[in-house]
Amino acid sequence: MTIGKQEFSRRRKALMEMMEPNSIAILPSGRERTRSRDTDYFFRQDSDFYYLTGFTEPDAVLVLIPEREHGEFVLFCRDRDPEKEIWDGYRAGPEGAIVKYGADDAFPIDDIDEILSGLIEGRQRLYYAMGRDADFDKHVMDWVNRIRAKVRSGATPPGEFLDLDHILHDMRLYKSAAEIRLMEEAGRISAEAHIRAMRACKPGVYEYQLEAEIRHECAMQGAREQAYNPIVGGGKNACILHYVENTDKLKNGDLVLIDAGGEYQGYAADITRTFPVNGVFSKEQADIYRVVLRAQAAAMEKIVPGNHWNEPHDASVAAITQGLIDLGLLQGDLGDNIERETFKTFYMHRIGHWLGLDVHDVGDYKVGDEWRVLEPGMVMTVEPGIYISPDNEHVAKKWRGIGIRIEDDVLITKDGYRVLTDNAPRTIEEIEALMAQA
C-alpha cells in the first residue's frame, strides 16, 4: 500500500494548473536537524515536498515550471557519491530522480546557484512559501538578485511573488482514495496500539511503559514513527493538555489518558483514549466520561457535507455545558453558561483539526469571513474533553484532578462521515470488558 508515481504526477499537474500564467514554483525539502553534537534526529521529509514528489531525501529543491519546453518538473538533489553512501546510506542522485521519481530534469544540489537563476529568468511570477524558512528566503532572494543584476543585458526578473501555501494547502485538504486507504491503515494500527496499552495497564506500571506499548505495536506494523510526541498522563497529569514527560507511576483508582497515533507512509493518526488504571471506572470518572462521550457523539452528528466547520464544535460545547450543569459542576441555565463561556474552565480547546500528512494538517478553517463548509474527502479529528484542575476550589473535591478526552479520526463522506479509528474501544462497557480479559 503506497502512493503511486502517477498520483504524485497528478498532484503536480493539478498545482500547475492553478498557477498563474508564466510562473515558477520553488519548494525546498526538509533539512536534517542535529539532535546533539554529531547525531541527527531521524529525518522526516517536509510534508509539502513529499506530497508533490514522494522523494524522501534531505538537501533537495523542487522546481515546477508550467509549460517549460524541456520539462516542467525539475529536481535538485544530492549527487551520487559511493564514498559518502557507504557511511550515510543510499542516494537517488539526479539520475534516480528522473528514473524513480519521474523528474523531467534533475541536477546536483551543489549546482543550484548556477542553474536555478536561469530557470527563474523570464518568468513573471514566483511562487514559494514566503517566511517559512529564513535561510531559504535568503536563497530565493539571492537567485532573484542574480537576475536583477543582469537587467541591463536584457534579463527579466520576476515581478510578483505569490504564496504557494495558499493553493497547495487547499489541495492537501481533500484526500484521494489512495490517501484515505493509508489513513485508514494509520487509524487501524494506532487503534490496535491503544488496545495493547489498555491490556498492559495496571497499577504500578509507569506512563513511559504504556508509551512503549504504543510505540511497539505501531512500529511492528510499519508505522515506525509516531505522528507527534505521545501523551500518557495518569491522574491529574491528564489535565495538562500536552503532557509528554510520561515519567510517573500509574496509581490504583486513577484514570490514564493516552493521546498517541502512528504515522503510516507519511500519514498521521491521532487517537485519545482515557481509561481506568485498574480497569474499572469510579462513579465520578464514569459520570464525566459519559458527558465527554455524549459530546463526541453530538459533534459527529453534525459532520455532514454542507455543514460548516464550527457546527461540530458548537454541538460539543452544548453537550459538555449541559453535562456539567447536570452534575453540579456549573450552575445556572445552558444558554447563559454558553454565552459566558463558563465551559472554558473545563473544555478549553476546540473540537478538532484537519488531519493528513501532518497531525495538525493544513487547510483553512475559514474562507473569507465564513467558517469552511465540510466536504467529502476531508479528514478531521473529533476530540472533546473535560479537564478538572486539581486546584479548582469551585467544585467538590471528588471531581478534582479528573481529565478525560476521547479523540477519533473522521473522514467526511458523501452522506456524512466514517470513523477511521473505531476499533479502539470507546464506551465504558467496552473498555472495562477489554481490561477484564487482560
Residue ranges that bind ligand GLY, judged by CB under 6 A: 228, 259, 270, 353, 359, 383, 407
Specify whether 127 is catalytic. no
**Residue among 211, 254, 259, 409 flagged as catalytic:** 259
Strand partners, 232: 258
Whether the CB-CB separation of 123 and 147 falls below 8 Å is answered with: no
- The single residue of 213, 407, 408, 409 carrying the catalytic annotation is 407
Which CB sits closer to Mn ion, 28 or 352? 352
Active site residue 308: no
Catalytic residue list contains 429: no
* Min CB(21)–Mn ion separation in Å: 40
In angstroms, what is the minimal distance from the CB of 415 to ligand GLY?
26
Phi, psi (deg, nearest 5) at residue 82: -55, -40
Contact (CB, 8 A) for 183 and 267: yes
Burial bucket for residue 411 (CB in 10 Å: 0-12, 13-18, 19+): buried
Instruction: Check if 387 is active-site.
Output: yes
Q: CB 383 → Mn ion: shortest distance, Å?
A: 5
Residue from 57, 121, 192, 270 carrying the catalytic annotation:
270
Element (H, E) at 189: helix 177-200
**Which C-beta is closer to ligand GLY: that of 128 or that of 347?**
347
From the CB of 256, what's the least distance to ligand GLY, in Å? 16
Our CB check for Mn ion shows the closer of 105 and 270 to be 270
Binding mask 389-418 for Mn ion (x = CB under 5 A): ------------------x-----------
207 has catalytic annotation: no
Site string for Mn ion, 251-270 (x = CB under 5 A): --------x----------x
Interaction between residue 53 and Mn ion (CB under 5 A): no
Please, are residues 368 and 379 in contact by the beta-carbon 8 Å criterion?
A: no
Instruction: For residues 40 and 352, give the distance between their C-alpha atoms in angstroms, rounded to a whole number.
Output: 32
Which DSSP symbol is given to 351? S
Distance of closest approach, residue 268 Cβ to ligand GLY, in angstroms: 9
Do strands 160-163 and 125-128 pair parallel, antiparallel, or not at all (unpaired)?
parallel
- Complex with Mn ion: residue 72 or 407, whichever CB lies closer: 407
Question: Do the Cβ atoms of 55 and 75 come closer than 8 Å?
Answer: yes
Q: By CB under 5 A, which span of 52-60, 144-152, 250-258, 381-389 interacts with Mn ion?
A: 381-389
Least spacing, CB of residue 407 vs ligand GLY, in Å: 6
- Give the largest CA-CA distance in the chain: 81
Residue number with CB closer to ligand GLY (269 or 318): 269
Integer angstrom CA distances of residue 37 from 33, 45, 84:
11, 22, 19
At a CB cut-off of 8 Å and minimum separation 6, what does 177 contact? Answer: none
Give CA–CA dist 402/205, Å, rounded: 19
Residue 216 is among the residues annotated as catalytic for this protein:
no
CA–CA separation, 297 and 320 (whole Å)? 11
Nearer to Mn ion, 259 or 311 (CB): 259
Residue 226 contacts Mn ion per CB under 5 A: no
- CB of residue 361 vs ligand GLY: minimum separation in angstroms? 10
In the annotation, is 394 catalytic?
no
Binding residue for Mn ion, selected from 45, 117, 190, 381, defined by CB under 5 A: 381
Question: Measured from the CB of residue 234, what is the shortest distance to ligand GLY in angstroms?
Answer: 17
211 binds, among Mn ion, ligand GLY, none (CB under 5 to 8 A by kind): none
CA 58 to chain centre: 20
Active-site choice (127, 243, 267, 387): 387
Q: Which of 68, 353, 372, 400 is catalytic?
A: 353
Active site residue 313: no
Which cell numbers in the block locate residue 320? 459538555
Q: What is the CA angle 207-423-358, rounded to 5? A: 70
How far apart (Å, rounded) are the C-alpha atoms in residues 228 and 261? 7
Taking the least distance from each CB to ligand GLY, the nearer of 52 and 214 is 214
Q: Does the annotation count 383 as an active-site position?
A: yes
Angle at the Cα of 241 (from 232 to 357), degrees rounded to 5?
80
- Closer by beta carbon to ligand GLY, 105 or else 407: 407
299 binds, among Mn ion, ligand GLY, none (CB under 5 to 8 A by kind): none
Strand order in the sheet with 225-226: 225-226, 262-264, 267-268
Extract the C-alpha cell encoding 392.
Answer: 479548582
> What does the DSSP assignment read for 39-84?
EEPPP---HHHHHHH----SS-EEEE-TT-TT-SEEEEEPPP-HHH
- Our answer to whether residue 32 is catalytic in this structure is no
Residue 38 known to be catalytic: yes
List the catalytic residue out of 17, 38, 391, 393.
38
Of 139, 2, 148, 134, residue with least CA distance to 63: 139
Give me the active site residues, please. Answer: 38, 242, 259, 270, 349, 353, 360, 383, 387, 405, 407
